[in-house]
Amino acid sequence: MLGRPREYILAISVLAVLTLGGWFAPLNYRALGNLYLLVVIAVSLRISPVPAFVMAVVSGLAWNYVFMPPKRLAFSTVHLEDSLLLITYLVAALVASQLASLRSLSYRAELLAASDRLHRTLLASVSHELKTPLAILRAAGEQVDTPDAEKRRRVAHEMGSAVHRLDGLVNNILNQMRLEAGTLRVRKDWCDVRDLVDAACRSVGERLQEHPLNVGIPGEVPLLHADAFLMEQVLANLLLNAAVHTPAASPIHVSAGTTGASRHGPGRIFICVADEGPGIAPDVRGRLFERFERGPHAPADGLGLGLMIVRGFMLAQGGEVEVQSAPGIGCRFTVSLPAVKCEELPQA
Amino acid sequence: MSMVESKPDVLLIDDEPQLRRLVHSALSEAGFAVRVAETGKLALGEVVLRAPDVVILDLGLPDIPGAEVLRALGSLCSAPVLILSVFGEEKDKVSALEAGADDYVTKPFGAAELVARLRALLRRSLASAPEPVYCFGPIEVHLASRRVLRDGQRVRLTSLEFALLNMFISNRDRVLTHKRILRELWGPAAEDRTHYIRIYMARLRSKLGDPGGAASYFQTESGVGYRFVGRPPLAEKAAGPKSGGLAT
């Protein structure tokens, strides 16, 4: 708190240099006052509060003594208010800078703790989640040379599903890393909602086949201005969630539309993925979009990254995601983006 | 190296030995004569030695950047190029397709899928003269007279809609990037007006009664373009189903 002698020496020598420089510089006393203010703030960010406070008071007095009119090198009582005001400014600046540095410290500590937690969870869940399909592959690999053709076909199918699952996990880990590293590039383009849903269904693949899929997208839904690749990942994650968190044969509904269109603007375009599964308990809903959060009844596979990616990708595109759920009835995820009017087509 | 004349000659360029081995065996079994190269330099040497019928190129080679290999390949031979792409490198994939690559598969891919894509590329590079009538599903397209029939009924397409359909037919089973479609139909100034394509695709699909979803004749490749997969109803199943199982 009191600071080390080095800090006082630094403060005083900086002030001395400033005062000497100010003496020869063709600047009026008000400009020099601003300069004092700047330098004190800059230095006080690097030193303890007490030397910073001393530096503030000394610089206010030095300014008055050296530069203040009517006479240099004399305390001016005419402009006493000016000096007091400067000292007040300086102290306020110091308090603010100290608060900021304290906050950034605690923020950094929080980040570190979160990242530590992340790494531990990542290690645990990745090793489990990635090893399961690997175990399947290995077991299946040892059985492919069976003479039984029917069994061989089944084994090959198991291998295919394991690879698909592994692929999805690795993709989500990569997505998550890109979000975390802030290297995500959003390339917005005009997208047809139906195309996005089709592509997402294809990438989820066979895990969707156990569920009847009702796609109801009215023809008048306008084009969406979004990153097609990110939207495909978002919808694929929502569809996959709906498929794995509900019993087989339970239907999944996909719908889309616009909302809030008015004279003032074109409103928003939304896409909904709804299921008829067990739903999400209210206490879990708040943490749903955190990484590695998984529902208490979640099935054995999955890393808990899906919804985190959904939210991250939607926010990156300037959109949002919300969830509605009633236990026992199902849940409905809605992603939405601001509608953007596209220019007219040239006459063909 | 002696080779049976009729076997299509495919050059596989990838630096992963295990992937080379597996793809080599899958392609040989499917009736291709396979040459492999593990670096860009070796690959270009192979091409100079003898031009292949089709090239499979991994973009992440250790010695030469993928885009450069692609350019060199284009100047050395006219073989179609299939890109092996990796998740997360969408931009590289799209720019490779725009720089002259003909198609892509994403790792991990299924052998069935790879073989189907290669056959499609070969079919196209062999068949230069287009058939006068192309049929897919209930659709009949009379290319010379620019007439389109759906279940025998005339479908009225505007000239741009027909041009789009025609472009798809002559590039069937291949990816057409948005940019390329826009450039060919609307000119270079329209290259980034993707809403033109979206609107025209929606009109074309509705006029042709496209079933949509997985059964659509025009498969959407997110952020890349479209792939026309409409096939004559009686066509041999040479291209095979797209259920490689391993496909992403």
Strand partners, A193: none
Strand partners, B193: none
For range B117-129, the mean pLDDT: 77
A254 in contact with B, Cβ within 8 Å:
no
Is B222's CB within 8 Å of A231's CB?
yes
List of residues 6+ apart from A64 with CB closer than 8 A:
A75, A76, A79, A80, A82, A83
φ, ψ at B139 (rounded to 5°): -100, 140
Q: Which sign does the torsion angle of CA A220, A223, A226, A232 carry?
A: positive
Amino acid at B193: R
Is B195's CB within 8 Å of A190's CB?
yes
Q: Does B155 score more than 90 pLDDT?
A: yes
pLDDT (tens digit, 9 = 90+) per residue, A324-338?
A: 988 888 999 999 999
pLDDT at B226: 92
3-state helix, strand, coil in chain A (%, to 5): 55, 15, 30
For range A52-64, the mean pLDDT: 82
Contact A227, A187 (CB under 8 A): yes
Residues from chain A that touch B158, judged by Cβ atoms under 8 A, are 348
Contact B70, B101 (CB under 8 A): yes
Q: What is the token pair recorded at B155? A: 């479908």
More confident residue, A300 or B158: B158
With CA atoms as reference, the chain B residue closest to A200 would be B222
Pairing relationship of beta strands B133-136 and B103-107 according to DSSP bridges: unpaired
Radius of gyration of chain B (CA): 19
Probe site for chain A from B222, B226, B243 (most A CB atoms < 10 A): B222
pLDDT at A122: 66
Residues from chain B that touch A198, judged by Cβ atoms under 8 A, are 212-214, 216, 219-220
Residues from chain A that touch B206, judged by Cβ atoms under 8 A, are 219
Strand partners, A255: A216, A272
CA distance A330 to chain B (A): 25
Is B214's CB within 8 Å of A203's CB?
no
Contact A110, A80 (CB under 8 A): no
Is B214's CB within 8 Å of A185's CB?
no
- The model's confidence at residue B242, banded by pLDDT at 50, 70 and 90, is very low
Residues from chain A that touch B178, judged by Cβ atoms under 8 A, are 189
- Give per-residue burial for B203-240: e unless 16+ CB within 10 Å, then b: ebbebbebebeeebbbbbbbbbbbbbbbbeeeeeeebe
A309 in contact with B, Cβ within 8 Å:
no
Instruction: Tell which residue, A185, A199, A190, has the closest CA to residue A225.
Output: A190
Q: What is the token pair recorded at B102? A: 């003909």
Q: Does A33 score more than 60 pLDDT?
A: yes
Is B186's CB within 8 Å of A346's CB?
yes
pLDDT at B44: 94
Is A231's CB within 8 Å of B186's CB?
no
For range B169-180, the mean pLDDT: 88
Q: What whole-number distance in Å separates Cα of residue B183 and Cα of residue B178?
A: 9
Q: Among A70-74, A134-138, B82-86, which stretch is predicted with the lowest mean pLDDT?
A: A70-74
Is B198's CB within 8 Å of A178's CB?
no
With CA atoms as reference, the chain B residue closest to A232 would be B222
pLDDT at B54: 95
3-state secondary structure chain B: CCCCCCCCEEEEECCCHHHHHHHHHHHHHCCCEEEEECCHHHHHHHHHHCCCCEEEEECCCCCCCHHHHHHHHHHHCCCCEEEEEECCCHHHHHHHHHCCCCEEEEECCCHHHHHHHHHHHHHHHHCCCCCCEEEECCEEEECCCCEEEECCEEECCCHHHHHHHHHHHHCCCCEEEHHHHHHHHHCHHHCCCHHHHHHHHHHHHHHHCCCCHHHCCEEEECCCEEEECCCCCCCCHHHCCCCCCCCC
pLDDT at B237: 43
Identity of the residue in B158, B160, B213 whose CB atom sits nearest the CB atom of A201: B213
pLDDT at A338: 93
Q: Does A144 score more than 50 pLDDT?
A: yes
Q: Does B243 score more than 50 pLDDT?
A: no
Identity of the residue in B87, B108, B201 whose CB atom sits nearest the CB atom of A192: B201
Q: Does B248 score more than 60 pLDDT?
A: no
pLDDT at A295: 57
Amino acid at A101: S
CA distance B218 to chain A (A): 10
pTM recorded for the entire structure: 0.70
With CA atoms as reference, the chain A residue closest to B200 would be A345
Q: Among A40-54, A153-167, A210-224, B47-61, which stretch is predicted with the lowest mean pLDDT?
A: A40-54
Q: What whole-number distance in Å separates Cα of residue B208 and Cα of residue B135?
A: 12
Contact B173, B120 (CB under 8 A): yes
Q: What mean pLDDT, rounded, does chain A reach?
A: 83
Cis previous bond, A70, omega within 30:
yes
Residues from chain A that touch B161, judged by Cβ atoms under 8 A, are 348
- The model's confidence at residue B47, banded by pLDDT at 50, 70 and 90, is very high
Q: What whole-number distance in Å separates Cα of residue B176 and Cα of residue B159?
A: 19
Distance from the first to the final alpha carbon of chain B:
35
pLDDT at A63: 83
pLDDT at B183: 92
pLDDT (tens digit, 9 = 90+) per residue, A68-123?
A: 777 777 777 777 777 777 777 777 777 777 776 777 777 778 777 777 776 776 67
Contact A65, A74 (CB under 8 A): yes
Q: What whole-number distance in Å separates Cα of residue A220 and Cα of residue A223?
A: 9
Inter-chain Cβ pairs, chain A and chain B, closer than 8 A:
85
